[in-house]
Structures are given as C-alpha cells and as structure tokens.
Amino acid sequence: MALKHVKQYYYTMLNQFMEAKADLEDFEQALKDGHITEDKLEAVKEDTALMEENLGRLQYIMYLWELPGDDKKEPSFKKANQKLFKALEEKGVLEANVVDENKSVLDHLRQELKKLKEDKQ
C-alpha cells in the first residue's frame, strides 16, 4: 500500500465524518422541533462517536507517517503541529492511549479465561 492509498482512505473517512456531522446537526434540530426523542439523538451520537474515534486514530497514523525520520527535526515538526497533536491527545487516540486500551482489553479477556478454567474444575 502506498502513501497515496492511505491518504485517499483518510480523505474518504474525513468526508464521511463531515457528512455525519452535518446529519447530526439535522438530528439536533429535529429534537428541538420535537420530531425525535432524546434517546434517538443519543443513539445517533453514539454512531458518529465511533466514526470520530476511527478518524482520530487514522489522523494519528497520518501524523506519524509525516513525522521526520531525523531526530533533530522532530521537535520542530511537533511544535509546528502542536494544535493537531493536542486535539489527538484530547480524543485519546495517541499511541499510549491505544496501547493502554488494548492492555485493558487483554487483561479483561485473561480474567474471563481464568474464570472459565476455574468453572471447569
């Protein structure tokens, strides 16, 4: 896969998220107008939250891809992209967040397996 394919995928996801965001605004207006319930709006927000999380992770991958390989240039790159990095940090999509999330899932799976083994005995 070439960088152009990754960028194409990124822009497709970005466009889809922007469409979903516009649709979400329509749902919020429908709630104000009394056409839908708060529960329906919350369900739609949950769907768009997943899209936003996926996009955030892909944005971080794009950030890493553009990160210079030269350690001397990295601090100036990070400084120039500080706003993006801060936004990604707030979304919880940085490497440390994802690694911690994965570790939490693995810990939970291992606890469940341990329970299964104990129940078999």
For the stretch 51-73, pLDDT in tens is: 998 898 898 888 888 888 888 88
Measured CA to CA, the distance from residue 105 to residue 109 in angstroms comes to: 6
Distance of CA 118 to the CA centre of its chain: 36
Query: Domain of 94?
Result: 3-120
DSSP 28-86: HHHHHTTSS-HHHHHHHHHHHHHHHHHHHHHHHHHHHHHS-SSTTTHHHHHHHTHHHHH
Q: Which pLDDT belongs to residue 13?
A: 93
Model confidence pLDDT, tens digit, residues 84-95: 888 888 888 878
Measured CA to CA, the distance from residue 28 to residue 56 in angstroms comes to: 23
Query: How many domains is the chain partitioned into structurally?
Result: 1
Residue pair 57/32 in contact by the 8 Å Cβ criterion = no
